[in-house]
Structure 1
């Protein structure tokens, strides 16, 4: 099958997108990032906002985001430490808005009864959960390179995708990630051995553009000094077995007392919607069944 010209995306575009997705992919990283989006917090102040996270989960997320240069750890005294966004982290908030918007539009939702009318309507999903679930679809190894290639070509054979997105792996290795992307509703078989993006897969373009712009933007000297280590490894270069969509088990319900004691949190990212504490953290995170109509799954 004939294909179009080689993808116009540069290696830096793909590199920036995969590294940023690796930054956001560890579960709860987005939630931690958005928790400090309005003001710096002390460690103990995270607990009422993210009560389902144990210390063994919260501390690694803070360290991960701090090492990546998007959260700043400020020590005023041995027992007085705060965590807040760096300028690099603040610039990431509009990107999160783009990801949240795609998730709200394209990811399947269950139906719940309206407590006032009793009528069934799509359940309301927190922006942070939409971001988490969207990243879980596109962050696994080889997913983004395949999506990039199909975005540029429109239609491509498995052989072309194996050559462009998975060099050195051989033809047979491309079928597993392709199968996963098809199951997730982002890619479809076009017939005659070709593959192409679905409507929801094509709609990922603004996400990739926003991430690439953020990833390739100049980093201030101050933020650069905060970043330790080489950063996360690229998705397509991770070792180990194929990374499937992680299971999204419901978070424990927030205790009523903790919910009542939780301070208000309202953040208005540049060019993005306002995020409120109720939007992000006040409800139990539900499991999301596949919708009868199909489409991208959570």
Structure 2
């Protein structure tokens, strides 16, 4: 039975969460952020760390993140350009850790044989992929408003959800996003004509809280540049509109991605760099995974 309690989250909370999810939603954007999290890198240094991305895929991600204020593009010389996180981008890293932890705990995993024991165990998933897959569940239009409404109410009918989460739409419009959330394992039918969150859906509360806190934090007016490898002062800094400047370095050979790395289980303080083992904890598999229990990737 639906309750009538008003949602505790404000419209600004919901708006901040949805905008942040839209920012992270373009595939591989999270991987780019995490790749340059430890220090500014040149294009030719970013590229081998993301070998599956073609030039036509990497440039748009860097442009998107630069225009969004997450990445700063700095020219040290006409053909010497680096990309590093702004203070706003660095402040997002702990939020990404929260998202990665949820994905690791609740998203389905294929079973693979342990190469040492031969026993079947859940596949290890890179934190960046856990984030990507979690955002893919939450970013579609109306998904997060419906989840917000159910978190506030506990149980709600389709009519209530249509009115609260999709104002201006007819009742029938709510069923398609509801069906997708049910199929993804975040929402379940209550058996009394209503809908409620599953355990994994309820566990999204810390994720939404972390995103909302980051989205509502004031943006620094001046973003101090994080020191690069050379320590040289830039001749020109651009952190606004995108401008392409090719690197002088030839494209290096594609490196072998590390086979294993430490699991990411705790939230680092703001500005803490992601280790390469955290980012690339396994060879990147094809996506999406076939469902094997739990919310789908």
TM-score after normalising by structure 1: 0.84
Greater mean alpha carbon deviation, residues 203-212 or residues 277-286: 277-286
Cα offset, 1:168, TM superposition:
0.5
The alpha carbon displacement at 1:96 in A equals: 0.2
Stretches of structure 2 lacking an aligned partner (at least 5 in a row): 224-237, 243-251
Does residue 1:23 correspond to 2:20, yes or no? Answer: no
Q: CA deviation at 1:272?
A: 9.9
Alpha-carbon distance, 1:46 to partner: 1.0
Cα deviation per residue 1:168-212 (whole Å; 9 max; x = unaligned)? 111000000000000000000002210000000000000000000
Q: Distance in 1 between matches of 2:116 and 2:272?
A: 26
- 1:259 pairs with 2:260: no
CA distance in 2, matches of 1:155, 1:2: 5
- Tell me how far apart the structure 1 counterparts of residues 113 and 286 of structure 2 sit (CA, whole Å): 14
TM-score (norm 2): 0.84
After TM superposition, the structure 1 = structure 2 runs for residues 137-216 of structure 1, keeping only pairs within 5 Å, are 137-216=137-216
Q: Which residue of 1 aligns with 2:246?
A: none
After TM superposition, give the deviation of residue 222 of structure 1 in Å: 2.0
Report the number of matched residues: 267
CA gap of 1:274–1:289, structure 2 versus 1, over 3 A, is: farther
Q: Partner of 1:59 in structure 2?
A: 59
Name the CA distance, whole Å, in 2 between partners of 1:160 and 1:227.
42
RMSD: 2.6
**What does residue 87 of structure 2 align with?**
87
Greater RCO, CA 8 A, separation 6+: 2
Matched residue SS, 1:258? coil
Answer yes or no: is the 8 Å Cα contact 1:68–1:228 preserved in 2: no
Greater helix fraction, Structure 1 or Structure 2 = 1
**Corresponding residue of 1:246:** none
Distance in 2 of aligned mates of 1:197 and 1:17:
18
